[in-house]
Amino acid sequence: MNIKAVIFDLDGVIVSTDQYHYKAWKELADKENIPFDETINNRLRGVSRMESLEIILKNADRSYNDKEKFELTEYKNDIYRKSLEDLSKEDILPGFWDAYHHCRDKDILMAVGSSSKNTKKILKAIDLDDAFDAVADGTDIENSKPDPEVFWTAAARLGVDSKFCLVVEDAVSGIEAAKNGGMVAVAIGDATSSDKADHTIKHLRELIKLL
């Protein structure tokens, strides 16, 4: 493969804050008496905050207006951001540094492509705020995964054509976004259930074999 850039998804690939998302959404759902469990939570991976809320509200027994929806996303985000205070570089997932150093050795550029509007806060908390050649996140885009916008933004910032980019994703919606964007898609974790990925890996270190 002639790969010139690797675009890492953040949550679920570099660091795992999915349990923090789950706890915050669960608190909101309980407050509103809406059924919510880990299975529904899995559908929120890679999905924007407002779209996540819309998925949760499908199980509500009343409708919510735009003001209420905005307030609910703020409520959830406040809880989520408080839990990020415990995050440190010890939380970087195993194998990340092996993949990172391998890319540097081979002059492969690296970016983050995340749906999260908290990306910069998370990267700072885990000491990776200066580690990448580009970052594209939820604050840069109008359309979230499976739309390829976040990955195209990352590729444009790197100055690399999509067909030379490889995306690592833990979300099915993220694999679809990478393929919709004409990139090589590597699935890890929950995304390994997708039949659209070009490769599946169990551990980030396995990325080395693909580069």
- Interface residue with Mg ion among 135, 171, 183, 191 (CB under 5 A) is 171
Q: What angle do CA 64, 39, 27 make, to 5 degrees?
A: 50
Closer residue to ligand B16 in complex, CB, 47/154: 47
Backbone torsions φ then ψ of 11, nearest 5 degrees = -70, 120
Judged by CB under 5 A, the residue of 170, 179, 186, 201 near Mg ion is 170
- Which helix (H) or strand (E) element contains residue 100? helix 96-105
Is 161 an active-site residue?
no
Q: Does the active-site annotation cover 9?
A: yes
Q: Please measure the distance between the N-terminal and C-terminal CA atoms of the chain and give it in whole angstroms.
A: 7
Question: Does the protein bind Mg ion through residue 11 (CB under 5 A)?
Answer: yes
Helix, strand, coil percent content, the chain, rounded in steps of 5? 50, 15, 40
Q: How far is the CB of 22 from ligand B16 (least distance, A)?
A: 9
- Residue nearest ligand B16 by beta-carbon distance: 114
138, interface contact from Mg ion, ligand B16, none, CB < 5-8 Å by kind: ligand B16
In sequence order, what DSSP letters do the residues of 37-92 get, joined into one string?
-HHHHHTTTT--HHHHHHHHHTT-SS---HHHHHHHHHHHHHHHHHHHTT--GGGB
Site for Mg ion in 18-57 (CB under 5 A): 46
Query: Which residues contact ligand B16 by CB under 6 A?
Result: 9-12, 21, 44-49, 52, 77, 114-118, 138, 171
Query: Which of 9, 137, 170, 190 is an active site residue?
Result: 9
CB-based contact 7:168 (threshold 8 Å): yes
Binding partner of 34, given ligand B16, Mg ion, none, CB within 5-8 angstroms per partner class: none
- Annotated catalytic residues are 9, 11
Residues that bind Mg ion (CB under 5 A): 9, 11-12, 46, 170-171
